[in-house]
């Protein structure tokens, strides 16, 4: 790809994952329900949804934004995966695993969509026997943050306001 083609192509810097809902989760709590939450992770950065109590079909509609660790280029050998882990909160003892899903962000981006909502089947932990664990609906949206290094924090009190000429502003000095 030429430099000109690269300069005209849109590359996201961030991804926003909105966990909408889940369905068909295996009940792990009392009375055949779950107190369920989802951990959303990209690389070492992770967030958690709130706990939806006493349900096997939780609705969250909660989002988390992540900075992409690199460029999403077509044919990029480095794969960026968003990991969703659905858990049952236990009041006593360890929380219980309900299912997980790795979403390949490179594939979604290569499908030329900046926003994609889809249902994903939850899977067992790697190395464990696969079984039905339910599904999770997630909206993936790619964004570009255009903040540059030339911007500075105007809320800092130590710095006097400066006019375009570089001289102190007489109104604030």
Torsion of CA 131, 132, 134, 138, to 10 degrees: 60
Check pLDDT > 60 for residue 152: no
Lowest-confidence region among 8-12, 94-98, 117-121, 122-126? 8-12
Residues 149 and 47 sit within 8 Å (Cβ to Cβ): no
Check pLDDT > 60 for residue 102: yes
pTM over 0.85: no
Lowest-confidence region among 25-39, 55-69, 106-120, 127-141? 106-120
Integer Cα distance of 115 and 141 in angstroms: 4
Integer Cα distance of 142 and 91 in angstroms: 36
* Yes or no: domain 3-143 corresponds to CATH 2.60.40.420: no
Chain segment 52-63, per-residue pLDDT in tens: 999 999 999 999
Residues sharing a CB contact under 8 Å with residue 59, sequence separation 6 or more, in sequence order? 20, 21, 52
Q: Is the dihedral of CA 93, 29, 129, 100 positive or negative?
A: negative
pLDDT attached to residue 83: 97
| Bridge pairing between strands 45-48 and 52-55 | unpaired
Question: Could you write out the DSSP letters of every residue in 87-137?
Answer: EEPPSSSSPEEEEEEEEEHHHHHHTT-SEEEEEEE-BPPTTSPP----EEE
């Amino acid at each position: 790809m030429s430099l000109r083609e690269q300069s005209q192509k849109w590359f996201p810097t961030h991804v926003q994952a909105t966990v909408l809902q889940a369905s068909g989760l295996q009940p792990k709590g009392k009375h055949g329900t779950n107190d369920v939450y989802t951990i959303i992770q990209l690389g070492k950065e992770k967030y958690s949804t709130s706990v939806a109590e006493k349900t096997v079909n939780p609705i969250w509609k909660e989002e988390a934004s992540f900075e992409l660790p690199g460029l999403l280029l077509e044919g990029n050998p480095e794969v960026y995966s968003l990991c969703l882990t659905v858990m049952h909160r236990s009041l006593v003892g360890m929380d219980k695993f309900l299912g997980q899903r790795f979403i390949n962000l490179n594939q979604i981006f290569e499908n030329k969509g900046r926003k994609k909502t889809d249902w994903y089947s939850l899977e067992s932990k790697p190395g464990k026997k696969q079984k039905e664990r339910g599904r999770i609906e997630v909206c993936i949206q790619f964004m570009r943050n255009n903040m540059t290094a030339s911007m500075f924090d105007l809320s800092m009190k130590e710095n006097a306001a400066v006019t375009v000429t570089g001289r102190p502003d007489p109104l604030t000095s």
